[in-house]
Amino acid sequence: MSKKRSVSPSLDIVYDLEYGVWKATALHAALELGVFTVIANGNRSRGAIAAEARCDERGMRILLDALCSLKLLRKRKGDYFLTPVSDVFLVRNKPTYYGEWCLRTQLAFDIRSRVADGIRTGRVVGIDASQSGSGSLWRSDISRALYTWPLEAKQARQMWRTLGVTRRDKPSLRVLDIACGSGVNSFVLAQADPGARVTAFDLTDVLEVTRQVAEAMGVAKQVEFQSGDVLTSDFGTDCFDVALLGKILYYFDADRALDILYRIHSALKRDGLIVISTYIGDNRSCRSQKALLAALQLFIFAPQSHVYTFSEYRDLLRRAGFSGVSRHSETLITGTK
C-alpha cells in the first residue's frame, strides 16, 4: 500500500503579501509626490512630470510605469495620462480627493511600521480616530461619495429590501442615522418616500459632505443635520422608527457601546428597529478576514476598539433592552425595541 506523499508548503501566500505591499508603496509615493495632480495640470512626459514634482527622472519613470501596471495611469506614445479612477479620487483639491485619507490612515507607513511596538506595549501608535476632533480626517474619507453615491444607493436599497423596510411596508419613517458619514444608506429611504424624514448625526466637518450628498440625491429638505459626539449626545425619546448604525460601535469598548445603545433604545418609538451594518467577527476569531484585519487596524488608531462577534452584539443589544436580535448577513444585524 503506497503512502500518501506530503505536500510541500509553498511561499505563494507570503509572496502575494509582499507584492501587495509594493502596490501600496507605489500609490503612497505617487500621492506624496503629487504625481496625479502634476499630470492633471497638463504635464504628460516623464521629464515634465519629474521636473514639476522636483524628482529624479529615472526614478519617476520607474514609478510612472508601475502606476500604469496598477491601472492608475495609462501610457500612450511615451506620455502619461490619468485614468478615470485617478482623475476623480487622487487629484489634490478636487472635492472627491481620497488621498488624504490614504496617507493619514490606510497608507500611513510611519504609523504601521510601529504596529509591533503597539502590540508590545498595548498602546495606540497612530492618531486616535475615535475622538470627536478627527472630523477633518473622516471628511476626507467620505468625500468620495460625492461621486460614488449612485452605486452606494443601489447597495443601500438592497439592504432595506432585505430587511423589509420599504415605503409600502413602513411609510413616512422617521430615521436616525448615527455616524451617518455620506448619509446614502438612510437617504435612499427619503428618496423612496417623500413623507420620510432623516436625522443625520455626525461630526460637523463630516456633515459638510453629507449635505452635498443629500442635495445631489434630492432629499436635502427631508433631512435634519445634527452634529455632536456619539459618546455624549442625547438622541431624544420616542422619536424614531428606525435607527441606523454603520461602522462605529467597534471603535469603543463594551461599556461605551452599551451606553450608545441605551440612548438609541430610548430614542426609538415602540417596536422601533435598530440596524447595525458593520464588520462582524466570527465566534472563533479566526475566519472573518475583513473583520480580523479591521481589528488590527483599529488597534493602531482607536485605543478602546473591539470588533464584536454576533454573539457579543446580541448580548449588548439585549442588555440595552432590544429583543428579536437577528443576523441577516455577514455585515447586517437588527433588533427591535
Q: What is the mean pLDDT of residues 8-36?
A: 93
Pairing of strands 240-245, 332-336: unpaired
Q: How far is CA 162 from the centre of its chain?
A: 21
Q: What is the mean pLDDT of residues 5-24?
A: 87
Contact (Cβ atoms closer than 8 angstroms) between residue 246 and residue 277: yes
Q: Cα–Cα distance between 194 and 172 in angstroms, integer?
A: 8
Give the end-to-end CA distance of the chain in Å, rounded to a whole number: 64
Contact (Cβ atoms closer than 8 angstroms) between residue 175 and residue 224: no
Q: Which tens digit of pLDDT belongs to each residue from 153-200? A: 999 999 999 999 988 888 999 999 999 999 999 999 999 999 999 999
Q: Cα–Cα distance between 128 and 233 in angstroms, integer?
A: 20
Q: What percent of the chain lies above the pLDDT cut of 70?
A: 98
Arithmetic mean of pLDDT over the chain: 93
Whether residue 112 has pLDDT greater than 80: yes
Instruction: Please state, as a whole number, how many other Cβ atoms lie within 10 Å of the Cβ of residue 54.
Output: 10
Q: Looking at the DSSP assignment, which residues form a beta bridge with residue 212? A: none
Q: What is the mean pLDDT of residues 324-335?
A: 96
So what's the pLDDT on residue 4?
A: 60
Whether residue 2 has pLDDT greater than 60: no
So what's the pLDDT on residue 133?
A: 64
One of 3.40.50.150, 3.40.50.300, 3.40.50.920, 3.90.930.12 is the CATH number of 134-336, namely: 3.40.50.150
CATH 1.10.10.10 applies to domain 12-124: yes
So what's the pLDDT on residue 318?
A: 98
So what's the pLDDT on residue 226?
A: 97
- Which segments within the chain are labelled E, that is strand? 73-76, 79-82, 174-178, 197-202, 223-227, 240-245, 268-277, 323-329, 332-336
Instruction: Please state, as a whole number, how many other Cβ atoms lie within 10 Å of the Cβ of residue 34.
Output: 19
So what's the pLDDT on residue 245?
A: 97
Rg for the chain (alpha carbons), in Å? 23
Whether residue 312 has pLDDT greater than 70: yes
Cell 420620510, located at residue = 196
Of the candidates 247, 260, 244, which has an alpha carbon nearest to the alpha carbon of residue 291? 247
- Which segments within 252-309 are labelled E, that is strand? 268-277
Distances (CA, A) of 130 to 149, 247, 269, 276, 311: 24, 11, 28, 18, 24
Q: What is the mean pLDDT of residues 318-322?
A: 98
Range in 34-43, 119-128, 143-152, 198-207 with the lowest mean pLDDT: 119-128
Assigned C-alpha cell, 176? 436616525
Q: What is the mean pLDDT of residues 243-249?
A: 96
Range in 73-77, 126-130, 154-158 with the lowest mean pLDDT: 126-130
* H-helix or E-strand spanning residue 21: helix 12-33
Q: Cα–Cα distance between 163 and 182 in angstroms, integer?
A: 21
Whether residue 240 has pLDDT greater than 70: yes
Please report, for the chain, the start and end positions of each structural domain, with discontinuous segments joined by +. Answer: 12-124, 134-336
Whether residue 8 has pLDDT greater than 90: no
Number of helices and strands in the chain (H, E): 15, 9
| pLDDT band at 92; cut points 50, 70, 90 | very high
Q: How far is CA 44 from the centre of its chain?
A: 33
Q: What is the mean pLDDT of residues 104-111?
A: 89
So what's the pLDDT on residue 3?
A: 58
Q: What is the DSSP secondary structure assignment for residue 106, as one 8-state letter? A: I
Measured CA angle at 239 (ends 233, 244), to 5 deg: 65
